[in-house]
C-alpha cells in the first residue's frame, strides 16, 4: 500500500500546483511535450485513458503514447480505464516497469460506449463491484494509485455513498470533477458537493472542472483556499498560457499562440502527415477559438478547410 507522502513536496509560488488533465485525442505525447517545452508550470501530465485489451495487451497507439522515449522529461501519470482488477494490475505493472510511479484510475468518463460497459463513471452505478475492485487493486498494486472521479450517475448526492467506499482505501490522490455522468459537460460543476467531499474525504483531494480563465481560478481560490491541487483540461487547450498567467500574470501573446500551433502542426505532420494532422489541428482550434468573436471568425475559416495545405495558407495569413 502506498500513501501520498513527501515525494511531491515542491510547491508553486502561490501554493497551488497544477496538472494537465487527460483529453483523449488531444493531450497526446506530441501535445504534452510541446506544451512542457513552451510553457511548463504543470507538475504532472495525465495520459488519456488506456484500456487494456483482453488478453493483456495495449493498442499500439496507446503504447506509443506512454513509451518512456516519447515522454522524456515530462512527468507522466498513465491513466487506466477498466473494471477488471486483473487487467488493472497487469497494466499498472507494465507502466511501473516503464518507470512511472503513479497510475491513475478513470472513474469519470461519461461517454455512452464506456458507461454501457460499466467502466469510467459507469462503474459508479455498481458500488459493491467497485468496492471489490478497489480492494483487489489496493491490496495488490505496489505503485501509487490515484483516482479521477465524477460524483455519480444521476444525482450529485450519490457521491456521499461513493466517497464512503473511497475512504476505505489509501488513494494517492482523489481528483473530483463534480459533475454526474448524465451532465456530460453540461451544467456547472457542483461546488457545494465538492465542499462536502473535501470535508469527508480521508484522502488528498484535487479539483477539476471549468477553470477556463484566470477569473474562474480566482473565484475557486476564494471559495477553496485550502485546495492546493487543480487539474485543468479545456482551459489550457483554449489558452496554453493560462497556468503561466495564474502563476506569473503573463498572458499569452498572439505570436506565442501562433508559434505553439505551428510547432504542434509540424510535430503531428512528422508522424501522421496530411489529413490526420489537419484533423488534430482543427480539434485544437475548436477550443482555442471559443473565447472571442474574432476567434469564431477564424474558426469558421479553419473548419472549412479540407486539406492541410489550405490550413497552412490560413496560418500564413495570420
Ligand X SMILES: Cc1cc2nc3c(=O)[nH]c(=O)nc-3n(C[C@H](O)[C@H](O)[C@H](O)COP(=O)(O)O)c2cc1C
Is residue 38 a contact point for ligand X (CB under 6 A)? Answer: no
Question: Which of 37, 66, 69 has its CA nearest to residue 52?
Answer: 66
- Choose which of 71, 83, 106, 146 interacts with ligand X (CB under 6 A): 106
Instruction: Spell out, one character per residue from 154 to 183, where the chain touches ligand X: x when CB under 6 A holds, - when not.
Output: -----------------------x------
The CA-atom distances, in angstroms, between 99 and each of 15, 59, 94, 139, 271 are 28, 19, 9, 21, 25
Is residue 216 a contact point for ligand X (CB under 6 A)? Answer: no
Q: Retrieve residue 82's grid coordinates.
A: 477498466
Smallest distance from ligand X to CB 109, Å: 6
Q: Identify residues 10-29 at the interface with ligand X (CB under 6 A).
A: 21-24, 26
H-helix or E-strand spanning residue 19? strand 17-20
- Choose which of 78, 122, 178, 209 interacts with ligand X (CB under 6 A): 209
Length of the chain: 318
Residue 101: which residues within 8 A CB-CB, separation 6 or more? 7, 143, 144
Smallest distance from ligand X to CB 95, Å: 15
Q: Identify residues 242-281 at the interface with ligand X (CB under 6 A).
A: none
Stretch binding ligand X (CB under 6 A), from 69-77, 121-129, 163-171, 227-235: 227-235
Give Cα 307 to chain centroid, integer Å: 30
Is residue 213 a contact point for ligand X (CB under 6 A)? Answer: no
Give Cα 26 to chain centroid, integer Å: 10
Smallest distance from ligand X to CB 6, Å: 26
Q: How far apart are CA 271 and CA 274, in angstroms?
A: 10
Write out the residues near ligand X by the rule CB under 6 A: 21-24, 26, 48-49, 79, 106, 108-109, 148, 177, 208-211, 232-235
Amino acid at each position: 500500500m502506498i500513501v501520498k507522502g513527501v515525494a511531491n513536496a515542491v510547491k508553486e509560488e502561490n501554493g497551488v500546483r497544477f496538472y494537465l488533465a487527460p483529453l483523449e485525442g488531444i493531450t497526446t505525447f506530441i501535445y504534452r511535450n510541446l506544451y512542457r517545452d513552451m510553457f511548463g508550470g504543470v507538475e504532472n501530465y495525465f495520459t488519456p485513458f488506456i484500456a487494456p485489451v483482453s488478453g493483456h495487451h495495449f493498442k499500439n497507439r496507446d503504447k506509443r503514447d506512454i513509451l518512456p522515449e516519447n515522454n522524456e522529461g515530462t512527468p507522466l501519470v498513465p491513466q487506466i480505464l477498466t473494471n477488471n482488477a486483473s487487467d488493472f494490475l497487469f497494466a499498472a505493472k507494465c507502466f511501473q516497469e516503464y518507470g512511472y510511479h503513479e497510475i491513475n484510475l478513470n472513474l469519470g468518463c461519461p461517454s455512452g460506449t464506456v458507461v454501457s460497459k460499466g467502466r469510467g463513471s459507469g462503474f459508479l452505478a455498481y458500488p459493491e463491484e467497485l468496492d471489490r475492485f478497489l480492494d483487489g487493486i489496493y491490496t495488490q498494486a505496489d505503485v501509487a494509485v490515484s483516482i479521477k472521479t465524477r460524483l455519480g450517475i444521476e444525482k450529485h448526492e450519490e457521491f456521499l455513498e461513493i466517497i464512503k467506499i473511497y475512504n476505505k482505501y489509501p488513494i494517492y490522490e482523489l481528483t473530483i470533477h463534480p459533475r454526474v455522468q448524465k451532465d456530460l459537460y453540461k451544467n456547472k460543476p457542483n461546488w457545494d458537493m465538492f465542499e462536502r467531499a473535501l470535508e469527508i474525504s480521508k484522502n488528498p483531494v484535487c479539483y477539476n472542472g471549468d477553470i477556463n480563465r484566470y477569473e474562474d481560478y480566482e473565484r475557486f481560490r476564494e471559495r477553496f483556499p485550502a485546495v492546493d491541487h487543480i487539474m485543468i483540461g479545456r482551459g489550457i487547450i483554449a489558452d496554453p498560457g493560462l497556468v503561466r498567467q495564474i502563476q506569473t500574470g503573463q498572458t499569452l501573446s498572439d505570436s506565442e499562440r501562433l508559434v505553439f500551433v505551428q510547432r504542434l502542426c509540424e510535430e503531428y505532420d512528422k508522424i501522421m502527415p496530411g489529413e490526420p494532422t489537419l484533423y488534430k489541428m482543427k480539434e485544437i482550434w475548436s477550443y482555442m477559438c471559443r473565447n472571442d468573436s474574432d476567434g469564431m471568425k477564424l474558426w469558421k475559416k479553419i473548419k472549412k478547410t479540407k486539406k492541410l495545405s489550405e490550413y497552412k495558407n490560413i496560418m500564413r495569413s495570420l
